[in-house]
Amino acid sequence: MISAGDFRNGVTIEFEGNIYQIIEFQHVKPGKGAAFVRTKLKNIISGGVVEKTFRPTEKCPTARIDRKDMQYLYSDGDLFHFMDTESYEQIALNADQIGDSLKFVKENEMCKVCSHNGNVFSVEPPLFVELEITDTEPGFKGDTATGATKPAVVETGAQVAVPLFVEQGDVIKIDTRTGEYLSRV
């Protein structure tokens, strides 16, 4: 159990039958009346954000989130298959559980599978990936004055904005959190 006075960013709690992660919190001491804690909570299963206020003495149970390294094997239609590299146990997740978190992940790469009480709710891709450009238009000389970019398709099928000097067949490094081009490899 954690009291509202001890809330910190990133803490996960169980509240009203859901699991929330604290995004923002603020201790408020008004001139008149009792102090309270104003929070922004993100539902880790649905992704919705709600604002709640708590008395500093209110207690909530902390939620234990398990993050396990698993290898992404392949997808067949609507199912995505992952394998635990220690026990070789395989699980299949549907597209609703995955979302678009695998748009930069190739087969056989490691991901973190997040679960609460055995129920998988999300997959975290590696922070940075290296992918080959499969399709892009050639850049033109003289267009570089403004730091211009052009669209490119990587080997997973995702689209990325890249600088004009990047060509088809180049391997680039991408930040999976933002989808931004970082560098050529």
DSSP string, 29-50: --SSS--EEEEEEEETTT--EE
Domain coverage including residue 93: 66-124
Asked if 120 and 133 sit in the same domain, the reply is no
Q: What is the tens place of the pLDDT at every residue in 87-128?
A: 999 998 888 778 788 888 888 899 998 888 888 878 888 989
Six-digit token string for 96: 């609703």
Beta strands in 55-170 (DSSP E): 59-60, 66-76, 79-84, 90-94, 110-116, 119-124, 128-136, 149-154, 159-163
Asked if 158 and 178 sit in the same domain, the reply is yes
Asked if 108 and 135 sit in the same domain, the reply is no
From 15, 35, 60, give the residue that closes a domain: 60
Q: What is the tens place of the pLDDT at every residue in 46-58?
A: 778 999 999 988 9
From 124, 139, 173, give the residue that closes a domain: 124
